[in-house]
Chain A
């Protein structure tokens, strides 16, 4: 039982880390630019497809990462310049419509290029082993590597945001964009870079997730909803909030899926538990979100805004 709990906690952490990578970019774009970018999920999908293509062509996962990461960055910037830039001054509904259009467009484009059936690519051979935790069941090293990579990115982000000049501008932009602009900073360019960076992080999450999940059209749509839950829980615009929110969502979701039915079985009949448990488990994070919004409407770690 203790081992199962430990394994499920690791699973929850790993899901949380992936969510953090996606949510970090989303919260920056939402928080700094006040821009709702539904197309953030497709960046995750694009990352996975790019990595799949390069990895399958070269046979090397790391080469795949190395080439796909800058490509994801460039594609993100391309979208910002082509579409999103023209929508900053429009209201949120226009932004939602336009970015939803991008989702539809890219999901179909991916299907035209790579076909409708799921594709897959192997993770690095170096990390293909497992750590035996139960008889006949091993915890894949690769999943631990995802956790490690995510922690690495979190530290890097912390350093960039709180210790560099660019980070200072990003923080300033998050609390009062107009003032930053008035002080002579090219806020357009800053937005563009932040957007590209966010897209790259989401792409990175997709690249890391590819070897364990199936890479298929529309794979970003589900994680997008989760990412929004994460940033709402964590506080919009806050990277620290995104980290905390992502880990909370990852753990609650995974542990709920694992143990809720069993816990319910202590109180109600097994068949009723099997009926209610899965439904309740999938609602758990939304219930959590509602509760957090009730007690802390600005999220767990809100950004102090001057607006």
Chain B
């Protein structure tokens, strides 16, 4: 199961022939690569490996080996794999992790081994608050933030009656709580569906009967694909505004296609953000992998770039953890999302955009930023973190 990937194979071969003058760098990269939810992890991994390639196969000037492991979305297995990476492979840095339950499982073993953990996606609230660690940095967001963005935007747009729907599990309930943090209008109904449910006909009929101004939902993966298509098929798109988080994005658009046109989401990155780093990233990503990068790919890429910048700043010296931490904290690299800074708890303070699925001139359906919902937005839990 463990795939050893020499990042940028040819460069690796060349580097191996020359005696290593500098110290080597081993990065353990964990993602969910099998199972129904594997799409996100594949995007994130591809983004990360592109980042390593852009750094010439040498993150921070050190000859880099990336060990990609699959957590299979099983927290117990993830702990096992993380321990293998720490003890057997003696990794210097741990990166990746798509799902929050996996993150909660590996967070303690990794940070207690005093290995820097760079989250490429998951940002559960406990590690943003009371259980924060000086060895943790997130390149993505705290879980609540994208939902908060949608809530704040619904408030700003003057939507008075909103229908909320999420799967019946922790992240689903957190999502709807996050939405209501900045939304003061009427919540017509709060519906919790079964996790993994694919037919939303019953819920859509309830939405139609409730006649809200807007519906907000959090339906990751295949659930979102089904919901978006059925929402479109029922003709609800014309009368109800569709707000979402992690539902309409680069991983689901290929499946929903035109059914998603006009629907809203929130994120810190879109393909059309106009900066040099992003242009290069998008162009090279498409050229390398032959599909359009998603949010998760951008996070994987930024994770590699962050590690590169931090190690470069300390001149490749991995032994001085405090210096390395300061270098991470500085976030001194050109992020594809534009400027951001790290909060005291290691999560980004960054701009969040309201995004909409639109058709580009070349026919591709992509997420485009249409409005800035928050500027320099930090998460609600940083105050609880005593670092």
**With A212-B199, A258-B202, A278-B194 known to touch, is A218 a contact of B208 (CB < 8 Å)?**
no
Q: Does A116 contact B (CB under 8 A)?
A: yes
For residue A115, give the distance in angstroms from its CB to the closest CB of chain B. 8
Q: Are B234 and A138 in contact (CB under 8 A)?
A: yes
Residue of B nearest to A140 (CB): B233
Q: Are A116 and B36 in contact (CB under 8 A)?
A: yes
For residue A191, give the distance in angstroms from its CB to the closest CB of chain B. 32
| Residue numbers in A under 8 Å from B240 (CB-CB) | 136
In residues 66-125 of chain A, which contact B (Cβ within 8 Å)? 108, 111, 115-120
**With A118-B252, A119-B254, A140-B234 known to touch, is A278 a contact of B34 (CB < 8 Å)?**
no
Q: Are B206 and A274 in contact (CB under 8 A)?
A: no
- The CB with the most chain A CB atoms within 10 A, among B33, B202, B238, is that of B202
Q: Does A261 contact B (CB under 8 A)?
A: yes
Q: Does A142 contact B (CB under 8 A)?
A: yes
Residue of B nearest to A217 (CB): B36
Q: Are A213 and B34 in contact (CB under 8 A)?
A: no
Q: Are B205 and A136 in contact (CB under 8 A)?
A: no
- List the one stretch of B220-228, B302-310, B343-351 in contact with chain A: B220-228
Q: Tell me, in angstroms, the Cα distance from A11 to B209 when the chains sit together.
A: 15
Q: Are B34 and A108 in contact (CB under 8 A)?
A: yes
Q: Are A137 and B230 in contact (CB under 8 A)?
A: no
Residue of B nearest to A277 (CB): B192
| Residue numbers in A under 8 Å from B168 (CB-CB) | 278-279, 282
Q: Tell me, in angstroms, the Cα distance from A1 to B235 when the chains sit together.
A: 20
Q: Does B191 contact A (CB under 8 A)?
A: yes
Q: Are B206 and A117 in contact (CB under 8 A)?
A: no
Residue of B nearest to A216 (CB): B222
For residue A79, give the distance in angstroms from its CB to the closest CB of chain B. 22
Provide the A55-74 mask, 1 if CB < 8 A to any CB of B, else 0.
00000000000000000000
Q: Are B198 and A143 in contact (CB under 8 A)?
A: no
Q: Does B372 contact A (CB under 8 A)?
A: no
Q: Are B202 and A118 in contact (CB under 8 A)?
A: no
Residue of B nearest to A10 (CB): B201
Interface residues of B, count at CB 8 A? 46
| Residue numbers in B under 8 Å from A132 (CB-CB) | 235
Q: Are B211 and A212 in contact (CB under 8 A)?
A: no
| Residue numbers in B under 8 Å from A3 (CB-CB) | 209
Partner of A130, one of B33, B194, B235: B235
Q: Tell me, in angstroms, the Cα distance from A218 to B229 when the chains sit together.
A: 19
Q: Are A137 and B198 in contact (CB under 8 A)?
A: no
Q: Does A7 contact B (CB under 8 A)?
A: yes
Residue of B nearest to A7 (CB): B205
| Residue numbers in B under 8 Å from A128 (CB-CB) | 233
Q: Are B226 and A138 in contact (CB under 8 A)?
A: no
| Residue numbers in B under 8 Å from A137 (CB-CB) | 204-205, 207-208, 234-236, 239
**With A11-B202, A135-B239 known to touch, is A212 a contact of B209 (CB < 8 Å)?**
no
| Residue numbers in A under 8 Å from B256 (CB-CB) | 120
| Residue numbers in A under 8 Å from B129 (CB-CB) | none
In residues 363-381 of chain B, which contact A (Cβ within 8 Å)? none
| Residue numbers in B under 8 Å from A118 (CB-CB) | 39, 221-222, 225, 252, 255
Q: Are A120 and B225 in contact (CB under 8 A)?
A: yes
Q: Does B193 contact A (CB under 8 A)?
A: yes
Q: Are A213 and B199 in contact (CB under 8 A)?
A: yes
Q: Are B36 and A216 in contact (CB under 8 A)?
A: yes
Residue of A nearest to B38 (CB): A116
Residue of B nearest to A278 (CB): B192
| Residue numbers in A under 8 Å from B235 (CB-CB) | 130, 132, 136-138
In residues 8-47 of chain B, which contact A (Cβ within 8 Å)? 33-36, 38-39, 42
Residue of A nearest to B210 (CB): A4
Q: Are A282 and B194 in contact (CB under 8 A)?
A: yes
Q: Does A37 contact B (CB under 8 A)?
A: no
Q: Tell me, in angstroms, the Cα distance from A119 to B223 when the chains sit together.
A: 12
Q: Does A214 contact B (CB under 8 A)?
A: yes
Q: Are B194 and A213 in contact (CB under 8 A)?
A: no
Provide the A191-225 mask, 1 if CB < 8 A to any CB of B, else 0.
00000000000000000000111111111001000
Q: Tell me, in angstroms, the Cα distance from A130 to B201 when the chains sit together.
A: 13
- CB-based closest 8 A-B pairs: A136-B239, A137-B208, A214-B225, A116-B38, A117-B39, A278-B192, A11-B201, A214-B222
With A111-B34, A117-B42 given, can you name 10 additional A-B contacts, CB distance below 8 Å? A15-B199, A108-B34, A116-B42, A128-B233, A136-B211, A137-B207, A137-B239, A222-B198, A257-B194, A258-B205
Question: Could you tell me which A residues sit within 8 Å of B by CB distance?
Answer: 1, 3-4, 7-8, 11-12, 14-15, 108, 111, 115-120, 128, 130, 132, 134-140, 142-143, 211-219, 222, 254-255, 257-258, 261, 274, 277-279, 281-282
- Listed A/B pairs (18) with beta-carbon separation below 8 Å: A11-B201, A116-B38, A136-B235, A137-B204, A212-B226, A212-B230, A212-B233, A214-B229, A215-B255, A217-B35, A218-B36, A222-B196, A254-B201, A257-B203, A258-B203, A261-B191, A274-B192, A278-B192
